[in-house]
Amino acid sequence: MSARARLCATISALMSSSKAGPPDIAGLPGRRILVQRSDDEIVAQALDDAFVARPGASVRFPAPWPRHRGTWEVAPDASVAVFAGVHAVRAVEPSGATRWEVRHGCWYGACQEIHESYDEYADRQDHRYPDGGSVGFSADGKLVWAHVRGPLPEGELNPDTVDEWLILDAENGRVLARVNAEAAAAGSFHLSHPSDPHQMGLSIGEGQDGAPLRWGRWDGQKLDVDYLEGDLCLLSVSPSGEWLMTVSHDQDSLAVRDSRGAVVEGLEWDAESVIPRHPDAPSSDDDEIPVYWDWAGGFVGETTLLVSTVESDDEWGQSRHWLVDTSGTRGLVPVAYPTPVSCQPAALGNGAWLTLSESRDALHVWVLHTSED
């Protein structure tokens, strides 16, 4: 038996796919923002509860450097955008004015310089493909959590620090707390607690070396960090903020954990044990058909996960998405779409999720089909 998906909205991209990265929806239910980044700017458009653009609510943020030179995030109220670059974290207002900047060590590993501007390395061949960090706004937009390459200009935490995790005042960029991230990142991303601005998740990628996961708690004075064991990718935080959804670095294991990293009893799923063979894959018992979880999906409700196996399905045919009921009443249930979907999904919570159109110029928002539809 499958779960039927119903299309509830199609949202056109804000910029041409030839000039910008794919569009995305940021924010929590009631505060949705459609965002898209080109080399020159970020465009943000507020959405209502039906995923319709709010009139006159479009904002543009000029970008301080090209999009392949870092990551970014827009504040929940779209008042400011923060860019995590190779040499600095910079907050930019819609006017293009820099609200604040925090400089740090260079993300190009062999470089020991503390750059003062992007222009210093913009044309340097050895800085074309640097590693990188990320930023994340707290739920209330008052804090910016930043994963940066140490040291800051004012000095290191200790001689062994490579990456630092900072908490910054979103209004003025003041460093409120800093700790050793205990990682050597190739990249990272943040996932905030949905309601507590003093909690944040940091998922770090070290390429083939691993995937450290951190969960931070700030009491207003001290930043305490849980360094979760194992190589895990953090995919989603439940609407209550109580549970984390993770996939192992080798993509073999999907799990629901508490914020200390402990797997909730009965809520860990081994890919080979639970994912059915693709219907178009060879049926011979002699053929070993690898199956594994994507690093995609999330909580669509407090007890419902949306997951996918797009990567491992690609060789055989139609991509598959699945719903997992964490209450234990149903197992792995395939999602049936009215038209084929070939991309990985992203959970929006509140019963909804999205997929990117094949042409990458629109987002499709889905909910479960009910008897009332």
Tokens coding 114: 């503390």
Contact present, 161 and 151 (Cβ < 8 Å)? yes
Distance CA 318, CA 332 (A): 17
Give pLDDT tens digits along the chain (373 positions): 789 999 999 999 999 989 999 999 999 888 999 999 999 999 999 999 999 999 888 999 999 999 999 999 999 999 999 999 999 999 999 999 999 999 999 999 889 899 999 999 999 999 999 999 999 999 999 999 999 998 898 877 777 789 999 999 999 999 999 999 999 999 999 999 999 999 999 999 999 889 999 999 999 999 999 999 889 999 999 999 999 999 999 999 999 999 999 999 999 999 999 999 898 888 765 567 889 999 999 999 999 999 999 999 998 989 999 999 998 767 799 999 999 999 999 999 999 999 999 999 999 999 998 766 6
> Closest by alpha carbon to 233, among 314, 161, 295?
295
Assess whether the previous peptide bond of 276 is cis (omega < 30° from 0): no
From the number of C-beta atoms within 10 Å of its C-beta (0-12, 13-18, 19+), residue 70 rates as buried
User: What is the CB neighbour count within 10 angstroms for residue 79?
Assistant: 16
Helix, strand or coil, per DSSP, at residue 296: coil
Q: Coil, strand, or helix at residue 158?
A: coil
Residues comprising the chain, all counted:
373
- Please tell me the distance from the alpha carbon of residue 201 to that of residue 118, in angstroms, as a whole number: 28
For the question of whether the overall pTM of this predicted structure is more than 0.85, the answer is: yes
Q: How many CB atoms lie within 10 A of CB 206?
A: 18
At 180, list the tokens.
């050793």
Token code pair at residue 161: 């620090």
Q: What is the CATH number of domain 16-279?
A: 2.130.10
Query: Which of the 8 DSSP states describes residue 371?
Result: T
3-state secondary structure of 99: strand
